[in-house]
Amino acid sequence: MPQLTTTAYSDITDHLAEHAPTARPLEAIAAVLDADYHSVWLDRLTIWHAWTTPDDDTWHLEHYTAAEALDVLHQQLDGAGVFDRTAAPSRYADPAEAHYLERDEEVMEEYYDIELAAEHDRLPADATPQEVDRRIQARITRARAEAARLASLRAHHVRATYGGTGDRGWKAAAARGLGITPVSLGAILADDEARAVKRREARTNGD
């Protein structure tokens, strides 16, 4: 729901000066969105977003919780390649992507500030740093569990598609079909088999 609609950008800044005097501009994120048409501010646990379009003189000012803003910003930043590049540092060796390095790091600093605001908003006002850290650790645990599940899905796809019945040569055929080396294919299957062994060992040890 827009908080303000105006043709004068100064009305936006005046509104923020009155209603959110401590709001901090997130200039790196705005640059990714296109700073000619977007401005973003972090105000403690909320986000202000002013936007317009190239063919319209009207500015819209919207106010979100940090969690609501993350849903929108994640999609935008992901589409711009920021997450993929920062998760794979070797990509900055490519001259075509090297110039993104400083901007990507600035964007992620601002994005992390929004993520922390969202975490604090989900906790009591007097939450300790340890409580925030425990929430982040829980997210890491869930992310690792999801990565393991997807790795098993990949192994299942290999077996289901290439008839992993133990017939001689099926693994070599699967590697060729997927365009990977036999060693890589073996690692996919071995990793999944290791998880299955650990599940059964855990049940045995628990009996």
Q: pLDDT by residue (tens digit) across 28-72?
A: 999 999 999 999 999 999 999 999 999 998 999 999 999 999 989
Q: Which residue did the predictor score with more confidence, 169 or 90?
A: 90
Of 117, 118, 5, nearest in space to 56 by CA: 5
CA angle 94, 98, 101 (to 5 degrees): 140
Q: Residues of the chain with pLDDT > 70: what percent?
A: 97
pLDDT of residue 197: 95
Confidence of residue 139 (pLDDT cuts 50, 70, 90): very high
The residues facing 39 across adjacent strands are: 50
Q: What is the mean pLDDT of residues 151-166?
A: 88
Tokens found for residue 101? 């390095």
Q: Hunting for tokens 């062994």 — which residue is that?
A: 197
Angle at which helices 129-162 and 101-121 pack, to 10 degrees? 110
Neighbours of 182 (CB within 10 A): 12
pLDDT at 103 over 70: yes
Instruction: Tell me if residue 51 falls in helix, strand or coil.
Output: strand
In this prediction, residue 205 has a pLDDT band, given cuts at 50, 70 and 90, of confident
Tokens of 206: 């628990």
- In the numeric block, the tokens 């850290």 are attached to 133
Percent of the chain with pLDDT strictly greater than 90 = 89
Helix, coil or strand: residue 99: coil
Task: Tell me which H or E stretch contains 41.
Answer: strand 38-43
Q: Tell me, what's the pLDDT at 89?
A: 95
Q: How confident is the model at residue 163 (pLDDT cuts 50, 70, 90)?
A: confident
Q: Which residue has tokens 């973003």?
A: 40
Confidence of residue 2 (pLDDT cuts 50, 70, 90): low
> What is the 8-class DSSP label of residue 143?
H
| Kind plus residue range of the DSSP H or E element containing 62 | strand 59-65
Q: Quick check: 206 pLDDT over 80?
A: no
Residue 94 has phi, psi (to 5 degrees) of: -75, 120
pLDDT of residue 203: 87
**Amino acid 165: pLDDT:** 61
Secondary structure class of 63 (helix, strand, coil):
strand
Neighbours of 119 (CB within 10 A): 19
Residue 2 β-bridge partners: 62
Please give the Cα distance from 46 to 61 (Å, whole number).
13
Q: What angle do CA 124, 130, 135 make, to 5 degrees?
A: 70
